[in-house]
Every structure is written in C-alpha cells, then in structure tokens.
Structure 1
C-alpha cells in the first residue's frame, strides 16, 4: 500500500506546505483514493504519478476549508480531462449542498456522475473491491471523522510442499488452484483449491484521521492498524498557551496514544504554520516531543512525501 502526502499545513498554506490532502492506493495501481482536498490539492496532484482519471473516491473528514475547499476545482478539472467514470464522494452531510451550490452558481456541469455518501453509510455500503473502508467520529467542534482503509482481497500462496506430497504435478493447473479454482487432474482426482493454499497474511490497515483533540477516540479503529496518520498541530507547550478552543492535538498527546495503542507506524501532519524549518520554532520541536513518548516508527510528513507500507507492515519513506 502507498501513501502520497499532498498537503501538511494547518489552516493556511506556507511557502513549503499546502493544506490537507492525502492519496492512498495499492502499490503501483492506477486507481487511488483521496482523503481531504484543500485548496491547491489538484496542483499538488500534478507533481505526482496520480491522475484524476484514476481517482475512485474522495473522503472528506470535515467541512473546514483547509480540508474541503479544493474539491470544486478538482471536480471541474476532472471534467475538463474527459472523465466519464462515476466518482464516489464521502463526507459530512453539508458537503453535498456546498458542492451543488457552487456548481449551480458557476454553471459547472460534470460529464460523470457523483455518488454521494456520508460516513454513516459506510457500514452498509461496500465501496471498493480492494479496500474495506470504515469511519470513526472524532472531536473537533464540528462533525469530523477518521477513515480506516483495510485490504479486502489478500492473495494466498500455494502450499507447494503439500502439492508435491500429494503428487499433484506441476502444470498450469497450479495457477488455477492459486486463483481459488477447483480442478480435476488427468487421473480423475478432484482437487479443492482451498486445501492447497497457505493461510493469507494479515490484511494491512491504514487509519487517516481528521482534526481531533481526543486521540483516544481512535482506540478501536487503531487496534491492529499498521499506520495511523494524525494531526499534530502544536507542541503541548503551545497548545496549553492557546487553550482548548481550536480543538487540536499536540505531538505529545498523539504520541502517547499511539504508544499505548501499539501503533507500529505513526505519521504526523497538519502542522501549525508557526513551525518553520530554519525559523524560531522549527518542526524538530514536534519531532522531539513525539519521540519522547513514542517508540515506534515515527514520520513527520512533508508535502509530496511518498511512503510504502510493505506486506510485513513496515512503512518506509520512498522519496518525493
């Protein structure tokens, strides 16, 4: 599974960082999904291997502009590129009204259908054959969600030792068995495929959270997750000075939760613009605070970072 980060700034962009957006796909696949779509997201997409033609679904965590204002432009650009396939949009109920109002006011007509769903619909509406998607309510002043993405179709390897032990000759039939198809051998024996397939590896799971001042709300969603992507807008010291009004998390709070939940890979994002490399408040402050409370694989996201989650659950930086 792959993660491509499209924006990592909170509230407003900076010279180096756009606002929230994250792409996820199975490795090397043409099709992908988008979580949040701030203004400027489509420009970031142009600097990746992704295409609006391969976009399967958009998941909006909440209605704040730094997470949703780029969606109208993205829809229009996809139309101008000639998209015809349906596009699934999952988000808070007001999202549909906002987009339809903008489309009416700007006389935007799309040559492809939009399929509208809310986070509450996900339990009853399987969306993608390759990914199971679920939603968890968060705490942020306005309705906000995290989305969990779990592999839905896990390949199974042949038990070649058992095949040889049972004198099943190596032939193209082995390929049929690996695909789960029962076969009949030339000697008349009937072979049930599941008897010759090894147990599947654990399904990989990535949880991408919207803004949230209570990481503990993700206890169930993060259980068994390989990756948690969570906002870390401030250090704890700054958060204490600002107070609870913005309803964001600190690096310390997210790191403590991830450590307690046993999350193997933690990606922090959505940093306040006050944190600037080379400035009086460098991002190393957030990094140092998180590492003091989390012993797993910690990554501070940068725009256009590309991460690969391998089959063993290790998340590695793969460049920009």
Structure 2
C-alpha cells in the first residue's frame, strides 16, 4: 500500500504547505483514492504522478474549507479532461448540498456520474474493489470522521518445503497451486491447493484521521492498524494558549494515543502555520514533543512525501 501527502497544513495554505489532501492506493493498482480535498489540491496533483482519470473515490472527513473547498474545482477539471468513469464521493450529508449548490450556481455540468455516499451509509457501499473502508466518528466543531482502509484480499504463498517433500518438482503445478487451483499429477495424485498454501499474512490497515481533539477515540481501531495518520496541529503550550475552541490535538495527545494503541507507525500532519523549519516555533518542537510520548516509528509529513507500507507492515518514506 502507498500514500502521498498533497497537503499537510492546517487552516490555510502557506508557502511550504498546502491544506489537507492525501492520495492513497494499493501498490500497483490502476486506481487511487483521495482523502480530503482542500483548496489547491488539484494544483498539487499536477505536480505529482496522480491522474484525475484514474481517481476512483474521494473521501471527505468533514465540511471545513481546508478539507473540502478544492473538490468542486477538481470535479470541474476532471470533466474538462473528458473523464467518463463514475466517481465515488464519500462524506458528511451536507457535502451533497454543497456540491449541488456550487454546480447549480456555476452551471457546472459533468460528463461523468458522481456517486455520492453519505459516510453513515458507507457500510452498505463498496466504493473500492481492493480495500474495505470503515468510518470512525471523531470529535470536532462539526461532524468529522476518520477512514480506515483495509486490504480485502491477501495473497498466500505456496509451501515449497512441503511440495519438495511430496516429490513435486518446481514447475507449472507450483504456479497453479499458488493461484488456488487443485492440480492432478501424472502419477494420479491430486494436490489440493489448501494443503500446500501457507497461512495468509495479516491484511494491512491504514487509518487516516480528520480533525479531532480526542485522538483516544481511535485507540481501539488503531490496535489492528499498521499506520495511523493523524493531526498534530499544535504543541501542548500553544494548545493551552489557543484554548479548546478550535478542537484540535497537540502532538503529545496524538502520540500518547498512538502509544496506547501500539500502532507501529504514526504519521503526524495538519500542522499550524505557526510552525516553520526555523524561527521561534519550529516543526522540530512538534517532533520532540511527540517522541516523548511515542516509541514507535514516527514520521512528520511534508507536502509530496510518498510512503510505502510493505507486506510485512514496515512503513518507509520513499521521497
């Protein structure tokens, strides 16, 4: 599985960070998904290898502008590129009215169907053929969700030692067994695939959170995840100065939840523009605070960072 950040800033864009957007897919899949679509996301896509023609679904976490204002423009651009395939749009109920209002007032007609799925009805929909998607309610000023993406199917490897012990030499029979086919040998034996396939590995799961001032809401879900992507808008001292009104998390809060869940990989994002690479408030302070509460593999996202989650659950930064 792989994902790339198209925006990692909170509230408004800065010179270094656009607002929220994340591209995600199973490695090598012909389609991809977008989680959140803040203003300017389509410009970020133009600077990446992603294509609006192969975008299959958009998942919006909540109705704040830095997470959804870019969606009408993205849909319009996809139409101008003569996209014809349906596009799933998953999000809160007001998202449908928002899109319909923009389309009506701007006379936007699309040459492709938009299949809207209200987040509360996601369990009855299958927007992605390769990933099961589950929504978890969060705590924010408006209704907000996290999305958990889990592999639908997991490949099984053949037990080469058992095949050799049975006197079956490498060849076409091995390949057919690998694909789950039973095989009749020339000596009359029938090899049943289930007898020669090792137990499947764990299906990988990635959780992408929206804005949330109670990261502990994701602890139980994250116990079975390989990756938790969650906001760390402030450090603790700034959060106390700002107060509870914005309903965001500090780096310490998010890190503590990741530690409680035992999630092996924690990726922080959605940073306040206050934090820069140098100056009185640095992104290094966010990292230092998180490392004090979390002992796993910690990453601080930057725009266009691309990550790969391998079959063994190891997350690595690719670029």
Q: Do the two structures share a fold, i.e. TM-score over 0.5?
A: yes
Q: Which 5+ residue runs of structure 1 have no aligned equivalent?
A: none
| Alignment-derived partner of residue 64 in structure 2 | 64
Which runs of 4 or more aligned residues in structure 1 lie more than 3 Å from their structure 2 counterparts after TM superposition? none
| Alignment-derived partner of residue 211 in structure 1 | 211
Deviation (angstroms), 1:32? 0.8
* 1:1-320 to 2 correspondences below 5 Å: 1-319=1-319
* Matched position secondary structure for 1:133: strand
Residue-pair matches, total: 319
2 CA distance for matches of 1:271 and 1:212?
Answer: 13
Deviation (angstroms), 1:30? 3.2
1 CA distance for matches of 2:11 and 2:149?
Answer: 25
* Matched position secondary structure for 2:253: helix
**1:185-218: per-residue Cα shift (whole Å, max 9, x none)?**
2333322211111111111111000000001111
* Matched position secondary structure for 1:52: coil
Deviation (angstroms), 1:169? 4.0
1 CA distance for matches of 2:215 and 2:234?
Answer: 14
**1:165-190: per-residue Cα shift (whole Å, max 9, x none)?**
22334332321211112232233332
1 CA distance for matches of 2:44 and 2:31?
Answer: 17
Equivalent residues of 2:61, 2:210 under 8 A apart = yes
* Matched position secondary structure for 1:99: helix
Equivalent residues of 1:30, 1:50 under 8 A apart = no
**1:62-91: per-residue Cα shift (whole Å, max 9, x none)?**
000000000011111111112111111110
Q: Which moved more, 1:308-317 or 1:245-254?
A: 308-317
CA RMSD of aligned residues (A): 1.2
Equivalent residues of 2:137, 2:146 under 8 A apart = yes
Q: Which moved more, 1:23-32 or 1:278-287?
A: 23-32
Equivalent residues of 1:225, 1:263 under 8 A apart = yes
Q: Which 5+ residue runs of structure 2 have no aligned equivalent?
A: none
**1:74-116: per-residue Cα shift (whole Å, max 9, x none)?**
1111111121111111100010111011111111111111111
